[in-house]
Amino acid sequence: MRTFLRVVLAFVAAAAAGAQTKAGDFTVAPLPPQTQGLPKMRAVGPRATGGAVRQCVTDICQTSEPHSCIEVSFPETGWRTCISNQGRRSLTIGPTDLRRSPGGPWMRVLREASVADIFVPYHSFTFRLYDMQQGSASSLLEMTPADAGANGSLITLSGAQIPQVAAELNDRGIAWLCKGIANRAVRRGQELALWGVFDAQNYDFIIDYRLRDDGSIGFRMGATGFNNPYLEPLSTTDAHMHSTLWRVDVDLNGSGGDSAKMLSHREEPRTPAIFSLAAQDVEEPFNGGREGTLVWDPTRFVTIAVEDVATTNAHGNPIGYQIKVSPEGLSRHYGEESGVVARKEKFTRFDFAVTRYKEAEREAFFDTPNVRYLDPDEYLLGVAPFAGVGVSDNETVSDTDVVLWYRASVHHDPHDEDHAPGDPDHLMTGVTFVHWSGFDLEPHNLFDFNPLGGPSRNNCQ
């Protein structure tokens, strides 16, 4: 195994500096203009009904692991995606294609996205758990009709004997509305939810992907189960974090030509007083155009966007996606400084990261089942002896193939709702409520106009 890893590292060091084309990627160049293609009142009616989940007309899956290709059509847009069980990395989405208008061409937006790791540090004990470390294909649990609900169906992946994925077509609430005097209209949005459950001993983790009719993509992790029973009763009442590291390989209109940008809002006190409200929104190359990490600054609305500089919309702007986050807090951990924990936890000191895609890195350090487990410090930060891996080789993230990383955390301080009926005060054996975390990828000049039929103000007064 060590010899194999040395060989893989040699491949990593020799990887080409330019963008790499991945099997099955394609390019639509130039991107055709977005077309409305629907009667106005269907777009702005009380509810744009429709949406059908089915198997893909063309299977775009590129994996030999258990998988299924799912397609959904909304009134104005459509999605097709591969959903698969990637063993240790569990439920994975992608490739994923978007149709921006009815009858329009498919456009690749994601190569793949999944949970990279789930880090669970406890406060009072030395438990510093990396839950994907023990993961396997059997960690993705069986799903039942009760899981899927009234609007859902079950998916049995290729080669599997049991259903392991639920597909739900959901109403997601108000997408837009117009309350003008002459014309009152409202549009409710829809989404396809694809989700499964990853078993991590006493915890079940709900891995949930949302493909929405407005072109956005949601990524959610839900932690539920039982508080740690291994040193009870104290461990059942010990506070802890669930910190999820996500990996998203963005392939806008194909695998190459993407650039990472940092977006921020800057507003500072000015003199004289008349200029005190001056502010500006800044778009600049992420980390000077190189791989790296970033700490979230909510006072500046800092976020990361990926743009395809070679593909523009009808207004001449590069198409893209940007990350939208709403964390309950930012977790930071320092286990190695205790002198008790052997692993470093440097990856918990940041919230975002951007790397350049390299096939050798993906195969060796992400989800190949025949390679030993490495933690995020090793495969993302390049901590010794893995120098040259992840962000450590400082490669370009401009006009190339870009991978986004985001770390979302929830803090679980056990409370009385974690008791089962009859538990004594000092012991909690009940199943916990779901603790949710995650993020969204939102369109950034991906469309030429509101894709859900929002009218001009001239038609909403």
How far apart are the C-alpha atoms of 304 and 406, rounded to whole Å?
10
Tens of pLDDT, residues 44-101: 333 334 457 899 999 999 999 999 999 999 999 999 999 999 988 899 999 999 999 9
* Domains of the chain listed by start with CATH number: 27-459 (2.70.98.20)
For tokens 């930060």, the residue is: 381
State yes or no: pLDDT of 41 exceeds 70.
no
Residue type at 261 in one-letter notation: K
Tens of pLDDT, residues 340-397: 777 789 999 999 999 999 887 777 655 555 566 788 998 899 988 888 899 999 999 9
Hey, which residues does 431 pair with through a beta bridge? 226
The residues, any chain, with a CB within 8 Å of residue 350's CB and separated by 6 or more, are 293, 294, 295, 407
The pLDDT value given to residue 40: 36
CB atoms within 10 A of CB 278: 11
State yes or no: pLDDT of 105 exceeds 90.
yes
